[in-house]
Structure 1
Amino acid sequence: MTQRKAIFPADRQSIYEKNGYSAAIQSKDLLFVSGQVGSLEDGSPEPDFEKQVVRAFDNLRNTLEAAGCTFEDVIDVTTFHTDPENQLDAMMKVKDSVFKEPPYPSWTAVGVTWLAGFDFEIKVIARLPSETN
């Protein structure tokens, strides 16, 4: 049986427990991060789209850090967009400030009709640095 370890960013475990899932699961040297959204401290959506994307990346950063990772450890990205055509420029601005140089992670963007009140969600797979696994 594969060993799994739940990862939670500081001060956010109750949000995940309330909804019955983990922020991330570590399995050997891989980290599978659940979709991160641009939520305010109370879990509600940030109303401004670009700020929502920034918050989603901040929440992702906090989850990665809780596992001993950084954005440099990310190998695969999936993003979900409620209005991709009109949101792409703002999302790319934030993405480019995080993933600044090659090699970039693989990336899949998906248009969706519903994200529980949010307009953007990002999930990733990262490889843990060898000293953390």
Structure 2
Amino acid sequence: MTQREPVFPAGRHALYDRHRYSAAIRSGDLLFVSGQVGSQDDGSPEPDFERQVQLAFDNLVAVLAAAGATLDDIVDLTTFHTNPEAQFETVMAVKDKVFGAPPYPNWTAVGVNWLAGFDFEVKVIARIPATT
């Protein structure tokens, strides 16, 4: 049986400890990344929405890196939005900068009414590359 191995990026433990969850779980060659938000250093939401989205993706990159993966290893991307219609253009602009060019991961966007004070969250499943 494959064991769950928690993964944490350096210096990003305020929210994980406060809400009692792992940044990601490695299981075999798969990485299941918990929802990443655009938090400031103290764990509070970044007030500027575009910056909050960028910080969420920056935090995602840090978690992937802690497991030896990159954005190119993402298989499944899910984003959560508190006001999808009003936020979509901003999210797309940031997402386009983050992912650049095809091939893109598959993507599901979900409208929600609560994200613990945040307005955007991103979670992924990635395949961790084999090391030689």
Q: Which amino acid aligns with 2:89?
A: D
Pairwise CA distance, 1:14: 4.6
Correspondence 1:1-133 to 2 at 5 A: 1-131=1-131
* Alpha-carbon distance in 1 for matches of 2:115, 2:91: 16
* Alpha-carbon distance in 2 for matches of 1:16, 1:47: 20
1:14–1:118 CA distance, 2 compared to 1 (3 A): closer
List per-residue Cα deviations over 1:28-83 (Å, max 9, x = no partner).
00000000000000000000100000000011011001001110011100000000
How many residue pairs end up in the alignment?
A: 132
* Alpha-carbon distance in 1 for matches of 2:112, 2:88: 13
Check the 8 A contact 2:76/2:125 in 1, yes or no. yes
Check the 8 A contact 2:14/2:42 in 1, yes or no. no
Pairwise CA distance, 1:2: 2.2
CA-atom RMSD in angstroms: 1.1
Check the 8 A contact 2:7/2:23 in 1, yes or no. yes
Runs of 5+ in structure 2 lacking a partner? none
Q: Which runs of 4+ in 1 moved over 6 A?
A: none
Percent of aligned positions with the same letter in both sequences?
Answer: 67
List per-residue Cα deviations over 1:4-42 (Å, max 9, x = no partner).
110001012353133211000000000000000000000
* Alpha-carbon distance in 2 for matches of 1:81, 1:14: 22
Runs of 5+ in structure 1 lacking a partner? none
* Alpha-carbon distance in 1 for matches of 2:48, 2:12: 22
